[in-house]
Amino acid sequence: MALFPKPAETQHVGLFFLNKRLIRIFIGVAAFLFIVFALLWRRRDEEALKLLPAPSINETEGYYPYATFSDYYPVSINPANKTTEDLCATFPKHLLSLVQPVLKMGHGEDRTKLEAQLDSVSACFHPDDLLIFSDLDERIREYTAIDVLADLPAGYFDRETNPDIGNYLLQKELERNGTLDKDKEATKKVNGWIIDRYKFLPQIERAWLLKPDRPFYFFYETDTYVVWDNVFRFLSTFDPDTPVYMGSPSPGRLDRDRDIKTWFANGGPGFALSRAAVKALIQRDTSTYGQYSGPSITEEWLPLLQHECCGDSVVGWTLWNKGVALQGYWPMFNPHPLHGIPFSDRYWCQPMITLHKTSPTDMVDVWKWEFGQRKFQRPLLYSDYWQFHRPGTSGFLENWDNGDWDSSKLGPEEGIDSFEKCKEACKREDNCLQWNWRGRDEMKCVLGRSFRYGEARKPEQKEEKWIDFNSGWFEDRINQWRKERPCDVVEWVGPSIKRVF
């Protein structure tokens, strides 16, 4: 035992080593706490993202201003003089491991729509990437369209109990004897619309069979315009192992047991299913030996399909009965065509995911245009798509219909009997941005608080009345309106079945 204190030099050396030891302990504890905090923070963010589909916000007005990023590389490219191959070289194909695209078509539909689809929205998919389901096996360019009706249960092919199937059987017969499309009169007898509704449920089953366990499946049609960059951004915020069924909401069947009106996703604007939702839909009971003991979804719901107007309605009802309710995401899934979008405060700063009934020309042109518009940290918004047609910069157009969305209708009883007087009526209303005069026998003035591009529309006869269409916009008001709405915040909307177009 030391009876005397250490020399001063020895004390200083001991304190030095003691201080170094304390410093190391402090640094170690700080690093440990930092790692724990970072993991907890990351987990909190991940949990927050998983909770996004079910927000506790005002259902009709709420939105999320969360950040998203584009995986296109380069994000933006001038499309002028670029080939499809040049444009598709920027497409983030690695994200097809997240989202499986599924295109539904029919052999008898307008081929200009299909050609435009393959030249635009679906142009960047390799044949192995894209599933195409139809009512006939056929080769389309380098793609194979799969007859998704061929393997339907036997009950579907009984003409007496299911007369609709006669259209499909006639088409198959014409194909076998080599007269399909050649014998125009016989081919016209095939009603593709009637058999279209039978494809919806089988396409989900077949998509899972051919591309199993994909996080998300995205179903769309030949006239659906899809903004893939926004799809990837949006779906990456969801948990695929939570049942998610999303699209543009349409009213469906009444659940009489619970007295609840159900909703389904309109097939035209497209819809998405998480793998958990697909599993819930196609799950079947099995016996002790692993054999199926229960019917497939197509077998189970044949009676409903025979009496329901639309296959997308049946999809919504079957999912509802499996415990998966629709999450409505209008206007991100939009049933309007591009030229028919009514630009207004309702969704000016909200992202666009899909459009419906897009004309073949617009489909290709806007797809190419989109490549020059993308931004890394901001999705494409409705305000961006205004730049494509630039509605409101024409002044006025004859034989043109800019529509009557968000409108008030004035008639001759208020002294409005001409295009000019309709314009003056709009001018007197501070919030009027466009007007539409329907002359000749109808004599109707339609004032708009929103503005649309519209479409050419020649004079037409309706119930023995002739109507012509002339449209006008106040460009200065629209420019001021746009200036006051810079979209500094991106409004990713929450799910709603009350917010419908």
- Number of folded domains in the chain? 2
User: pLDDT grade, residue 204 (50/70/90)?
Assistant: very high
Q: What is the mean pLDDT of the chain?
A: 87
CA distances from 472 to 121, 384, 468 (A): 32, 22, 14
> pLDDT confidence of 435, banded at 50, 70, 90?
very high
> Looking at per-residue confidence, does 121 or 298 come out higher?
121
Tell me, what's the pLDDT at 261?
93
Asked if residue 27 has pLDDT above 70, the reply is no
pLDDT (average), residues 24-48: 44
Q: What angle do CA 350, 358, 229 make, to 5 degrees?
A: 45
Per 3-state DSSP, the chain is made up of helix, strand and coil in percentages (nearest 5) of 35, 20, 45
Provide the token pair at 17.
């080593």
Report whether pLDDT(330) > 90.
yes
Both 316 and 427 in a single domain? no
CATH number at residue 437: 3.50.4
CATH classification at residue 127: 3.90.550.50
Round to whole Å and give the CA distance between 344 and 332: 14
Distances (CA, A) of 268 to 89, 162, 303, 495: 28, 25, 24, 19
pLDDT band at residue 243 under the 50/70/90 scheme: very high
Q: Does residue 384 surpass a pLDDT of 50?
A: yes
Shared-domain flag, residues 119 and 260: yes
Q: What DSSP state is assigned to residue 6? A: P
Residues recorded for the chain? 501
| 84 within some domain | yes
Q: Are 111 and 242 members of one domain?
A: yes
pLDDT higher at 105 or 23: 105
Identify whether 74 is preceded by a cis peptide bond (ω within 30 of 0).
Answer: yes
Give the pLDDT band (50/70/90) at residue 274: very high
pLDDT at 53: 41
**Tens digits of residue pLDDT in 97-116:** 999 999 999 999 999 999 99
Instruction: Report the alpha-carbon distance of residue 206 to residue 219 in Å, rounded.
Output: 12
Is residue 205 assigned to a domain? Answer: yes
Q: How far apart are CA 457 and CA 165, in angstroms?
A: 37
Residues 211 and 297 in one domain: yes
User: Which segment of 3-12, 204-213, 242-251, 418-427 scores lowest on mean pLDDT?
Assistant: 3-12
Indicate if the pLDDT at residue 34 is higher than 60: no
pLDDT tens digit sequence for 446-476: 999 999 999 999 999 988 889 999 999 999 9
The whole-model pTM stands at 0.85
Q: Is the pLDDT of residue 176 over 60?
A: yes
Structural domain span for residue 462: 393-473
pLDDT (average), residues 224-253: 97
- Are residues 414 and 267 both part of a single domain? no
Does residue 447 sit within a domain? yes
